[in-house]
C-alpha cells in the first residue's frame, strides 16, 4: 500500500524563495549532476519549514501522518502569535542527502518556526531526524554513493543569495507526484509583535 493510502494531497509549511536567481542556481546544480537526477523536478524553490501531513480524505487508509484542518488552523495562529518579523534567508553552498541534493540555507528564524510547527506532531511526521534548512534541487534517479556526488559537485559555486521572507505558505502537493508543483493552501504573514 502507498504511504498516502488514498489521500490525494500532502501539506507542508514552506518559506518561498522562488526568485530568478535561486531558480538559476537550482538549474546549474541540476546541470552539474545530469543523469544522476530524475529528469523532471517541477517544484518551485522553497525552504521546507515543517511537514504537516496528509490532507484527510474519508475512506482513506494512509500509513502516513494526517494533518487535519483544525491542526493547520492551530499552527497558522501560532505562527501569527510568535511575532517573528519578516527576515532574509542566505543561500550559500550545497550539500546532499542520500536521496536529494540541495542548496544550503541559513536563517535562525527558520528553526524557531520549525519548532513551533512540530510541537503536536509525532516524530514520524518528519522525514528526517534532524531539521536541515535547504532548497531541494531534485531527486536522485540512481543509487549513487554520496562520495561520487561530492566529486561531481567539486568546485560547483554560485553567488551567495539573499532572499526576503515575508510570509509562510502552507503548500499542497499531489502525493503521487514527488516532483510536482506546490499549490498554495494558505498564507500566513509574518508580523513582528510590537
Query: For the chain, which domains are there?
Result: 9-189 (3.90.1140.10)
Q: What is the pLDDT of residues 110-159, one digit of tens each?
A: 999 999 999 887 665 555 678 999 999 999 999 999 999 999 999 999 99
**Residues present in the chain in total:** 194
Task: Quote the Cα angle for 79-80-86, to 5°.
Answer: 85
Strand runs labelled E in 63-133? 87-96, 101-106
Q: What is the pLDDT of residues 16-65, one digit of tens each?
A: 999 999 999 999 999 999 999 999 999 999 999 999 989 988 887 777 78
Q: What is the largest CA-CA distance in the chain?
A: 51
Whole-prediction pTM:
0.93
Place of cell 546532499: 96
Is residue 45 a contact partner of residue 18, using CB atoms and an 8 Å limit? Answer: yes
Amino acid at each position: 500500500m502507498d504511504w498516502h493510502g488514498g489521500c490525494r494531497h500532502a501539506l507542508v509549511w514552506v518559506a518561498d524563495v522562488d526568485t530568478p536567481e535561486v531558480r538559476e542556481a537550482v538549474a546549474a546544480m541540476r546541470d552539474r549532476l545530469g543523469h544522476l537526477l530524475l529528469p523532471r523536478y517541477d517544484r518551485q524553490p522553497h525552504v521546507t519549514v515543517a511537514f504537516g501531513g496528509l490532507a484527510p480524505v474519508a475512506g482513506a487508509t494512509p500509513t502516513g501522518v494526517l494533518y487535519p484542518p483544525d491542526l493547520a488552523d492551530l499552527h497558522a495562529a501560532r505562527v501569527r502569535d510568535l511575532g517573528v518579523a519578516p527576515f532574509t534567508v542566505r543561500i550559500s553552498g550545497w550539500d546532499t542527502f542520500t536521496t536529494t541534493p540541495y542548496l544550503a540555507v541559513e536563517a535562525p528564524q527558520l528553526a524557531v518556526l520549525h519548532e513551533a510547527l512540530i510541537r503536536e506532531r509525532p516524530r514520524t511526521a518528519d522525514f528526517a531526524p534532524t531539521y536541515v534548512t535547504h532548497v531541494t534541487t531534485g531527486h536522485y534517479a540512481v543509487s549513487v554513493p554520496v562520495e561520487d556526488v561530492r566529486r561531481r559537485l567539486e568546485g560547483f559555486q554560485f553567488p551567495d543569495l539573499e532572499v526576503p521572507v515575508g510570509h509562510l505558505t502552507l503548500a499542497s502537493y499531489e502525493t503521487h507526484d514527488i516532483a510536482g508543483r506546490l499549490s498554495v493552501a494558505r498564507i500566513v504573514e509574518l508580523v513582528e509583535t510590537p
